[in-house]
């Protein structure tokens, strides 16, 4: 069984290793921290920690580095979430202070988060599964091309290009647009899909194919809305921490650029009682991210829904600071986008 002091030793090993990227030896521990015991005693504790697989030695007779399991214990016990520095708080205010386009807000958020944590930051677009349709607009771009725009009451806008049969004159399109808005306005997405499916019946037979085409596109659009999107920033930070990876960071960057992977990862992470999730090292192996850790939490969107945001980086990261940063940014973003 690992003693109280043993856990303290684990903590300083994690801290020193994260700070220096050097395996931590018993001697440097007693030098830098005041344990009041000798190096030999620390060595005994370290032997215990190694038995529990919380730390490991890269080679016989070198210092120790934390294992994934060690990081996990460290994070779980991490009670003292250091508050952000005043400079960091100011950065959040400045970056997110002024109101703007939703895209811009999320873009700024993700850049901010990557700067605060020095990691790759991710923000999921607000999901809108519970939202209602606000407005539908059909825009004729060319004789055989139409753009459909869907606006929901949660502030999401979706657009889609569509090739249509050439018989669609401007007048009919505008008539169809009016009809769509009266049929769908204020209606939930699932119900809307239903109504769209029955739409063609209400038009003259010769119009049915065109209407059906547009209705099908809109249904797709409505349902595809569950497919979420991500914005990412700070890929350069991954390069900076390249040495923390055993091989090339190429596959890691590739996995991170694959949105589907990350969305699945976000989805499968178990939040703790505070809604915060930490996934460490091998826990992400299934996603090709076995050497990275992911920190994520939810933020409130205008639909009363929760989307997620977080950072991803090498397992050797400053969990304390990064968790605090992710939390703070999520809180601020919730205030900005959420319902009051």
Partner DNA sequence: AATTGGCAGTCTTTAGTAGAGAGTGCCAAG
Partner DNA sequence: CTTGGCACTCTCTACTAAAGACTGCCAATT
Burial of 150 per CB tally in 10 Å (0-12, 13-18, 19+): buried
Could you say whether residue 14 binds a copy of itself (CB under 8 A)?
Answer: no
d(CA 29, CA 12): 8
Q: 284 is in the binding site of which of DNA, a copy of itself, none (Cβ under 5 to 8 A by kind)?
A: none
**Interface with DNA (CB under 7 A), residue from 9, 46, 146, 255:** 46
d(CA 255, CA 260): 9
d(CA 321, CA 168): 58
Site residue total, a copy of itself (CB under 8 A): 47
Q: Which residues pair with 230 in a beta bridge?
A: 124
Site for DNA in 51-80 (CB under 7 A): 57, 59-64
Could you say whether residue 159 binds a copy of itself (CB under 8 A)?
Answer: yes
Could you say whether residue 201 binds a copy of itself (CB under 8 A)?
Answer: no
Could you say whether residue 232 binds DNA (CB under 7 A)?
Answer: no
Site for a copy of itself in 227-256 (CB under 8 A): 233-236, 239-240, 248-250, 253-254
**Interface with DNA (CB under 7 A), residue from 15, 16, 17, 26:** 26
> Which residues lie closer than 8 Å to 326 by C-beta, 6 or more apart?
113, 117, 276, 295, 296, 297, 309, 310, 311
- DSSP string covering 258-327: -HHHHHHHHHHPPP-TTSEEEEEGGGGGGGT-TTEEEEEEEEE-TTS-EEEEEEEEESSS-HHHHHHHHH
Q: 320 is in the binding site of which of a copy of itself, DNA, none (Cβ under 5 to 8 A by kind)?
A: none
Q: 285 is in the binding site of which of a copy of itself, DNA, none (Cβ under 5 to 8 A by kind)?
A: none
Q: What separation in angstroms does the CA of 292 have from each of 187, 190, 317?
A: 42, 38, 9
**Interface with a copy of itself (CB under 8 A), residue from 160, 195, 282, 331:** 160
d(CA 124, CA 267): 11
Handedness of CA 161, 166, 167, 170 (dihedral sign): positive
Q: 26 is in the binding site of which of a copy of itself, DNA, none (Cβ under 5 to 8 A by kind)?
A: DNA
Which of residues 65 and 168 has its CB atom nearest to DNA in the complex? Answer: 65
Write down the least CB distance from residue 87 to a copy of itself, Å.
Answer: 20
Could you say whether residue 38 binds DNA (CB under 7 A)?
Answer: yes
Helix pair angle (319-337, 68-77), 10° resolution: 60
Could you say whether residue 2 binds DNA (CB under 7 A)?
Answer: no
Helix pair angle (208-224, 170-184), 10° resolution: 50
Could you say whether residue 264 binds DNA (CB under 7 A)?
Answer: no
Show the binding pattern over residues 88-117: x = contacts a copy of itself (CB under 8 A), - = does not. -----------xxxxxxx------------
**Interface with DNA (CB under 7 A), residue from 2, 7, 12, 39:** 39
Dihedral angle of Cα 173, 176, 181, 183, to the nearest 10 degrees: -170
Q: 41 is in the binding site of which of a copy of itself, DNA, none (Cβ under 5 to 8 A by kind)?
A: DNA
* Footprint of DNA (CB under 7 A): 5, 22-23, 25-28, 36-41, 43-44, 46-47, 50, 57, 59-64
């Amino acid at each position: 069984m690992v003693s109280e002091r043993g856990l303290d030793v684990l903590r300083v090993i994690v801290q020193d290793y994260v700070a220096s990227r050097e395996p931590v030896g018993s001697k440097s521990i007693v030098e830098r921290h005041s344990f009041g015991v000798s190096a030999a005693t620390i060595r005994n504790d370290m032997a215990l920690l190694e038995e529990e697989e919380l730390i490991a030695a890269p080679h016989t007779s070198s210092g120790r580095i934390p294992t994934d399991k060690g990081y996990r214990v460290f994070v779980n016990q991490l009670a003292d979430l250091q508050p952000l520095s005043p400079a960091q708080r100011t950065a959040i205010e400045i970056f997110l202070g002024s109101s703007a386009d939703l895209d811009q807000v999320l873009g700024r958020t993700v850049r901010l988060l990557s700067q605060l944590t020095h990691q790759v930051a991710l923000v999921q677009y607000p999901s809108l599964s519970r939202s209602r349709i606000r407005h539908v607009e059909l825009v004729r771009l060319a004789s055989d091309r139409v753009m459909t725009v869907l606006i929901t009451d949660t502030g999401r806008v979706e657009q889609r290009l569509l090739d249509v049969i050439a018989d669609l004159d401007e007048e009919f399109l505008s008539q169809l647009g009016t009809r769509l808005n009266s049929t769908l306005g204020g209606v939930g997405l699932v119900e809307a899909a239903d109504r769209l499916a029955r739409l063609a019946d209400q038009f003259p037979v010769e119009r049915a194919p065109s209407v059906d085409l547009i209705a099908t596109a809109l249904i797709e659009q409505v349902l595809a809305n569950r497919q979420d999107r991500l914005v990412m920033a700070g890929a350069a930070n991954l390069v900076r921490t390249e040495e923390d990876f055993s091989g090339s960071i190429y596959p890691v960057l590739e996995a991170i650029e694959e949105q589907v992977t990350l969305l699945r990862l976000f989805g499968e992470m178990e939040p703790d009682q505070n809604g915060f999730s930490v996934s460490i090292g091998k826990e992400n192996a299934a996603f090709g991210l076995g050497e990275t850790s992911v920190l994520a939490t939810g933020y409130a969107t205008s639909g009363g829904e929760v989307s997620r945001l977080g950072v991803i980086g090498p397992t050797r990261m400053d969990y304390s600071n990064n968790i605090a940063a992710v939390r703070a940014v999520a809180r601020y973003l919730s205030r900005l986008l959420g319902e009051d």
